Structure 1
Amino acid sequence: MRDRHGNLVDVGDIVRVLEIAPEIIESLADDERPHIQSMLNEEYEIDDLPEEGKVSVSISWEEREGHTAHGGLYLLSHEFELVRKGGTDGA
């Protein structure tokens, strides 16, 4: 899998979310939408390569004390860029 600049990426690499398709945002529940929108321009570790041409990144947030919610995105190559390999500072 490659990012928008042609860099090879894999599980564990850190990427920056550059785009979120408007139809994805529109399809989200009202309580989930602001959390997913906040992923734009932020860095996340690739947690999976779920299908050909996509990477998966995830987030968690506290809904209320003691209750955590999870969400994430499947991103196409043009929607993200590699920040660093292997989840470390260049190692």
Structure 2
Amino acid sequence: MLTLTQTAAEAVKTIIERVPQAEDGGVRIRDTGAQTGFELSVAQAPEPEDTVVVTDGARVFLDTAANQALDDRILDAELAADGSVKFALAATG
């Protein structure tokens, strides 16, 4: 299962705080294919087939393909002073 670092969890919570209609939602990751990679969006709730990953109150929703592709990955983030966020994936172990 995808693992979130503490920084990634804080970034997800920060993003969700900026979207009032998604206050109980999360960041949804959808696998758009090998050529284009992953799409991140703010979602009010997971889709019925999504896997939900919760770390320190941060919720990430993974579609079926993303869940399989990211099964052994770690999601990290870098928070910039201007409020922007960069996410990165790393392999476990």
Fold match (TM-score > 0.5): no
Counting strand residues as a fraction of each chain, which structure ranks higher?
2
Higher-Rg member (1/2)? 1
| TM-score normalised by L of structure 2 | 0.27
| TM-score normalised by L of structure 1 | 0.28
